[in-house]
Structure 1
Amino acid sequence: MIYSKKIYLGILIFIILLISPFLASLGKANVPPVPSLDTPVINAMAVKQCVEPTEYMKDYHMQLLYKWRDEYVREGNMIYVNSRGQKYTISLEKTCLKCHSNEEQFCQKCHTYAGVKLYCWECHQK
């Protein structure tokens, strides 16, 4: 009981240090980024649409890329038929990056915001 004041003070300092990151960001809005669609290919499109609808691509683009990888590498399928019945070449570079050539303003913005490592370029060189 001699050290009880020191123990309580230590616990209080520990709790303050533990919650300080939350206190520092209190009241600050964390606005999600808006990826830039300003590329020559996208600007030239009469109808701006991706391989799949925008909402699907926002939520499931990595699952689609994994599916493409499996179909291309493991099954030898080089054509993807989307939900609208349109055919696309299964290729990150020739299909995705053809339109989204601004990797820093498109891919990297959202991945940085979400805290997700963008590792596509370890295998796919521009």
Structure 2
Amino acid sequence: MYDKGKIISGLVIFVALVLLPFWWQAGSAGVKPDPQLPKAEKTCVMSKEMMRTEHMQILNQWRDDVVRDADRLYVADNGKKFEMSLSNGCMRCHNDKEKFCDQCHNYLGVNPYCWDCHLTPAQKEGK
């Protein structure tokens, strides 16, 4: 009962110390990623906006179609045909994993499991 002031002071100091990292970083989200797009203007499977938000779901669906149904060909809305493959499809145009994939994945703090099975183009060439 007599230590009420000490307890309240201690709680205020504790809360301030716990919240200090959040106040320190308030308003700074870090450097926005700038993925290097292929130099040659090529038609992608879907629009840039769709690929930005849905690429993992698309790759998972492709994986299921290839493995379960042996369907390796994707026909886009524009009629163009693409091989459903990360290594032999997507990475032919987006061939620098560090400058393309890793830019956004590192920024968002995600660690996709794609590279547990697939080789990057540099690994394929023996670099």
Q: Which amino acid aligns with 1:93?
A: S
Q: Which runs of 5+ in 2 are unaligned?
A: 121-127
Paired with 1:18 and 1:11, the residues of 2 have a C-alpha distance of: 10
Q: Does 1:99 align with 2:96?
A: no
2:36 corresponds to: 36
2:81 corresponds to: 87
Percent identical across equivalent pairs?
A: 43
Q: Give deviations 1:66-124, integer Å, cap 9, x for gaps.
A: 11011001111000112222110011001111111111111111011111113211111
1:7 Cα offset (Å): 1.4
1:112 corresponds to: 106
Tell me if structure 2 keeps the 8 A contact 1:80–1:87.
yes
Paired with 1:3 and 1:108, the residues of 2 have a C-alpha distance of: 54
1:25 Cα offset (Å): 1.2
Tell me if structure 2 keeps the 8 A contact 1:108–1:118.
no
1:80 alignment partner, SS class: strand
Q: Which amino acid aligns with 1:104?
A: E
Count matched residues: 120
2:45 alignment partner, SS class: coil
Paired with 1:56 and 1:73, the residues of 2 have a C-alpha distance of: 24
Runs of 4+ in 1 over 2 A off after TM superposition: 26-32
2:16 corresponds to: 16
Paired with 1:27 and 1:65, the residues of 2 have a C-alpha distance of: 33
Q: Which amino acid aligns with 1:11?
A: L
Q: Which of 52, 57, 66 is the equivalent residue of 2:51?
A: 57
* Residues 64-83 of structure 1 aligned to structure 2 (within 5 Å): 64-83=58-77
- Larger CA deviation: 23-32 vs 81-90: 23-32
